[in-house]
Amino acid sequence: MTKRGLLHILFCLVSLNSFSLSLDSLKIKLQKAKNDSARIELHYKAASTKSNSEQLSDSLLNCIVSYTNSADCYSRLFAHYKVALYYIGKEKREKAMQSLLLALDIADKCKNNYGIMIIRLKLGYLNKITERIQASKISLHISRYYAILLKDSAVLADNYVILGNIYKNEMILDSALDYQLKALRIREITKGDDRLLAQSYNNIGLVYKNMKEYNTALTYLKKSLVLKIKIKDNTLASAYNNLGIIYNKMKLYDSSITVGKKGMEAAYKFKKSEFLSHCIQMLAEAYDGKKDIAKALYYYKRDKDVRDSVGKEEISSQFLELQSKYESDKKDADLKLKEESLKTAEALNSRKNILIILSTIALLMALIAGVFIFRSYKQSKRNALQLGLKNKIIGEKNKEITDSINYAKNIQQGLITSEDVFKENLKDHFILYLPKDIVSGDFYWAQKVGKEFLIMCADCTGHGVPGAFMSLMGIGFLKEIVNQKELTRPDLVLNELRERIINSFGLNANKDGMDASLVKLNGSEMQVSAANNSIWIIRNNESIVVRPDKFPIGVYSGEKQDFTLNTIQLQKNDLVLMYTDGYGDQFGGPSNKKFKHKTMEKLLVENQDLSMDQMKKLLHDTLMEWQGGYEQVDDILVLGFRI
C-alpha cells in the first residue's frame, strides 16, 4: 500500500472515531482495500446508508473529498463523481451539479472519454429534473456521441430514456416514443436487467397513454408490472397506479379499483407515501366515475389526510434535527464544563452559569424555530392551495389553446394534398414532413389538371400558428388560380400567387410571403419555376441543380420581375427532389453546426438507388442522429419522386 493510501486511511479512521456508531467493519475493509477507487466506493456506500446520521454521512463524505487532491487523475475524477451521486441521492441538486462540473473538468483535462460520457449523462439527467432543458439536451447529445464512439450500449439506452422523457414532458410524443423504443430495443438485445426493462416498458406505456392509445399503453404497462412484481421493485405501487389511470380513462372502473387497492398495499409495504397518495386519488376518481359518491368522498378525504401527514412528517423531521443539534451542543458544553471544574470552584460556578444560559438560549432558539417552521408549513399549505387553483386555471387555458391549435392542425392536414393523389399520379414518391410545432409554415400541394400534374413545396414566413395561417391562404390561392383562372404554367402561377399575397397584405407582404418551388409534369417533360428554393435532379451519380429566382413570393426591395420558366426533359429513373430550408439549417453534430444543403445533396447522390421508403428513412434517421439533443430550428419538408 502506498504512503498516500495509508495517510488517507489514517485521516478517515481518526475522523470517524468520534462517532458512537460502530464502524469496525468499515475500518477493516478500508485497511484491506487495494486502491483509492475501492476506498472511495466504501466511503460512498457507508455515507449513503439510511441508518447513518447526517453528521456521520458528512464525515464520510469528507473522507471521499480527501481523495480529490490525489495525484491520480482517475481517483480525483471518481471522488468528485461519487460526491455528486451522494448529493443527488440526498436531493441536494446544486451541490451535485458543482461536483459533477468539477469531475467533468478533470475528465476533460485527462482526456478520459469514458468519464466525459458518464458525467455528461448525469448532467443531462440533473438538468432535466431541474428544468434546464436546453442544457440537458446538449449534455445528453455529447454523452450520446461518446457512447456511440465507445460502443457503450447501456449508456446509450439510458441517454435515450432521458431524452424520451424530456420530449414526453414537452408533448412531442412521436420523438418521445422513438427514443423510448430505441432504449427498449437495446435493453432487450443486451438482455439488460429486469429493473431497466421494467422502466422502459413503463415509459413506453406512459407515452402511449398521452397519445390516447390506451390498449397499447396497457400492453406495455402490464409488462412493466410483471417485472416489478418479479423483482419486488419498491416502485410497484406506481405501476399499479399507472394501470389504474388507464382503466379510468377507458371507464373500466372495476379494474381500476382492483389495481388501485393492490397499489395501496404495495405503497404501505415499501413505505412510499407519495405513491400511496396517487393510488388513493386514482381510487377516488374510479368511484367518482361509478357515481358512488360516498366512496369517492371517502377516498378524497383519505388522500387529503395522507398529504397532510406527509407535510407534518417533514416538519417533525426538521424539528427533530434541530433538537438533535441542540442536544449535541449541550453535550459538548457539559464536557467542557467538567474539564474546567478541575481548576477552581469559582470557575466551575461560572461555567455552570454559562452552560445554563447557553442551554436556555439554545432551547428557546429550538422552540422559536419550531414555531416558525410550523407557521411556514401552514403558510406554504395556503400558498399551495392558491397555487393549485391558479395552475388549474392556467392548465384549462393552456388546454383550450392547445385544443384550438390541434383543431387548426386538423384543418391544415385536411387542405394539404393526400398521399393518394401522389400515388395515383407518380411512379414512386416520398414525403418527409416534420413540423417544428403542432402546425407548420411549410406545406406541399398537388393537383391533376388534364394530363398535367402540378406539385408545389413552399416555406411560408414563420412557423407554428402564423406560418400555418399563411400556408392555408397559399393553398386557397393556388386552388383559385388553377381551377378558376385555369393557369397551370408554373411561372404564371407564381406571378399570380405573388399578386394575391401582395394585395392581401399590402406593404407587409415583404414580411408575409413564401419561398417555393412549383413543377408541372407532362409525360417526360417537366416545367419548373422557383422562388429562393432550388430543385435537384439526381441522375447517374450526379446532381443537376435547377436554380431558383432570388426573390420571394411577396414584396422585395429589388425591381419587380416575372418568375423564370425552366423546361427540362427527364429520363427514366431520374430522382427529383423538392425541399424547404429546414433540413439543411438544422443544428447538431459534435460542434453544433448546420447540417447544410450540400451535405444533404451528397447524401442523396450516394444513395440514389434506394427505394423511396428507404430514402425517406435514411433522411429521417440521418437528421435525428445529427440533431441529437438540440431543438428543431424550423419546419422541415423534403419531397422526392422517381420518373
Cross-strand pairs, 636 = 434
pLDDT of residue 408: 59
- Furthest C-alpha separation in the chain: 118
User: In this model, does residue 398 exceed pLDDT 70?
Assistant: no
Angle at 232 between CA 227 and CA 236, to 5 degrees: 75
What are the cell numbers at 105? 473538468
| DSSP letter string, 530-557 | EEB--EEEEETTEEEEEPPBSS-BS--S
Span 372-392, average pLDDT:
61
What are the cell numbers at 550? 432570388
Span 554-583, average pLDDT:
92
Span 480-500, average pLDDT:
94
Give Cα separations from 362 to 110, 327, 330, 373 (angstroms). 49, 9, 9, 16
pLDDT of residue 441: 85
Quote the CA–CA distance of 482 and 479 in Å, as a whole number.
Answer: 5
Span 241-249, average pLDDT:
95
pLDDT of residue 50: 45
Q: What is the pLDDT of residues 214-229, one digit of tens each?
A: 999 999 999 999 999 9
User: In this model, does residue 28 exceed pLDDT 60?
Assistant: no
CA gyration radius, the chain: 33
Using the 8-state DSSP alphabet, how is residue 292 labeled? -
User: In this model, does residue 567 exceed pLDDT 50?
Assistant: yes
Give Cα separations from 467 to 218, 402, 436 (angstroms). 37, 16, 11
End-to-end Cα spacing for the chain: 75
Give Cα separations from 211 to 38, 172, 304, 326 (angstroms). 46, 10, 30, 54
The proportion of the chain whose per-residue pLDDT surpasses 90, expressed as a percent, equals 45
- What pTM does this model have? 0.47
pLDDT of residue 10: 37
User: pLDDT-derived band of residue 245, with 50, 70 and 90 as boundaries?
Assistant: very high
Between residues 441 and 428, the one the model is more confident about: 428
CA atoms within 13 A on the CB side of 373: 18
Using CB atoms within 10 A of its CB, is residue 74 exposed (0-12), middle (13-18) or buried (19+)?
A: middle
Q: How many CB atoms lie within 10 A of CB 352?
A: 13
Q: What is the pLDDT of residues 82-116, one digit of tens each?
A: 788 888 888 888 888 988 998 888 888 888 999 99
**Residue bearing cell 424520451:** 164
> Can you list the pairs that 491-495 forms with residues at least 24 positions away whose Cβ atoms lie under 8 Å?
491/529, 491/562, 491/563, 491/564, 491/565, 493/454, 493/518, 493/529, 494/518, 494/529, 494/531, 494/553, 494/563, 495/562, 495/563
Span 72-87, average pLDDT:
79
User: In this model, does residue 60 exceed pLDDT 60?
Assistant: no
pLDDT of residue 251: 94
In contact, 550 and 557? CB cutoff 8 Å: no
**Residue bearing cell 406545406:** 443
What are the cell numbers at 379? 403558510
- At 460 the three-state DSSP class reads strand
Closest CA relative to residue 453, chosen from 485, 475, 482, 494: 482
pLDDT of residue 128: 92
pLDDT of residue 388: 61
User: In this model, does residue 20 exceed pLDDT 50?
Assistant: no
Quote the CA–CA distance of 558 and 566 in Å, as a whole number.
Answer: 22
Give Cα separations from 249 to 23, 198, 213, 344 (angstroms). 53, 22, 10, 79
